[in-house]
Amino acid sequence: MDIGFIGLGHMGFPMAARLAAAGHHLFVYDTHDDAVTQAVTSGVHAASSPRDVADRVDTVLASLPSPQVSHDVATGSDGIIAGSKVKRFADLSTVGSPMAQRISKQLAEREISMLDCPVSGGVHGASNGTLAMMVSGPRPEFDTMCDILETLGRPIFVSEKPGAAQTMKLVNNMMAATALAATAEVVVMGVKAGLDAQVLIDVLNAGSGGTHASRDKFPRAVLPRTFDYGFATGLMVKDVRLYLDEAKSLGLPTDIADAVAALWEHTLNEEGPASDFTSVIKPIEEAAGVVVGGTSRSD
C-alpha cells in the first residue's frame, strides 16, 4: 500500500521503518534532511513537503513534536490539506483534544478524514511494534487503517468523537508522569536512609508499591545510569501541561497534577528539554546528596 509518513524523529523514524519493512510503499518528509537521507537508504521515497506527500498518496501518517507543528503540517498553505490525492490523515502526535478537533474540522472541509491516534510506549515500543495506540475519529476510517496501525502496535478504538483519543493519551501520560516522579522520590528517600537501590526496586516490584517505572524504567535506564529510555523531558512536560489545560477547562481539581507538574518543570529547567525523562530523578538526588545506583555524595 502507498503510505505517506511525515516526521522522522525518535518515534517517527522507527515507525516508518516498520511500515517499510512490512512491504508498504512509503513517501516520507521531515524538515531535517539527514533524517530523510537516512530513511531513503532503507528504500523509501523522499517528498519535498507535506503537500507533496499528500499529492502522492491517499493515506498519510504523521509523528510530530508539538500541537502547532501538527496544525501547520496538516492545514498550512503547503500542508496536507492542499494535497490532491489524500483522503485520510492519522496524527500519531500528542496535541491535546482542542487542537485535534480544530485540525479535524479544517480537514473535513476539504473532505479529508482524520484519526487522532496518539501513541504510548516510547522508542522501544516504536522499534518493536508494541505501541499502545489510542484512536478516535470515523469508525470506517479506523477499520480501513487498522492493518497499518497493527504494524506499529495495538490500536484501541476510543470514540468517534474527534479529540477523544487525545484526552485518553493525556490521562495515560499524567499517570506515567506521576508514577515516575513518585518512584524517583521514594527511591531517593530509601537510598538516603541507607537502603540499597536494587533492593528497593526488588521489594517495590514484589509488593503493592510497584509501578511501571519501578518494573521497567528504573532497571533499564536509572539504575545503570544510562538515562536513555527514549522519551524526552520536554515532551513529557508538554503532555503534563496539556493535561492540566484540559482538566482545568473541565473545572476539575488538579492538586496532585499541579505538584507533579512542578517537579517536571523543575527537571526541564535543570536538565533541559532534550534530556531523557528518566532524568526526573536527578534534581531529587541533587537535593538529597545521593546517587541512586551510584555512590553517595554525602554521609
State the catalytic residues.
169
CA distance 2 to 202: 47
User: Residue 160 corresponds to which cell in the numbers above?
Assistant: 468517534
Residue 3, CA distances (Å) to 38, 78, 106, 111, 128 in order? 18, 18, 21, 18, 20
Q: What backbone phi and psi angles, to 5 degrees, belong to 288?
A: -85, -20
3-state SS, one letter per residue, for the chain: CEEEEECCCCCHHHHHHHHHHCCCEEEEECCCHHHHHHHHCCCCEECCCHHHHHHHCCEEEECCCCHHHHHHHHHCCCCHHHCCCCCEEEECCCCCHHHHHHHHHHHHCCCCEEEECCEECHHHHHHHCCEEEEEECCHHHHHHHHHHHHHHEEEEEEECCCCHHHHHHHHHHHHHHHHHHHHHHHHHHHHHCCCCHHHHHHHHHHCCCCCHHHHHHHHHHHCCCCCCCCCEHHHHHHHHHHHHHHHHHCCCCCHHHHHHHHHHHHHHHHHCCCCEHHHHHHHHHHHHCCCCCCCCCCC
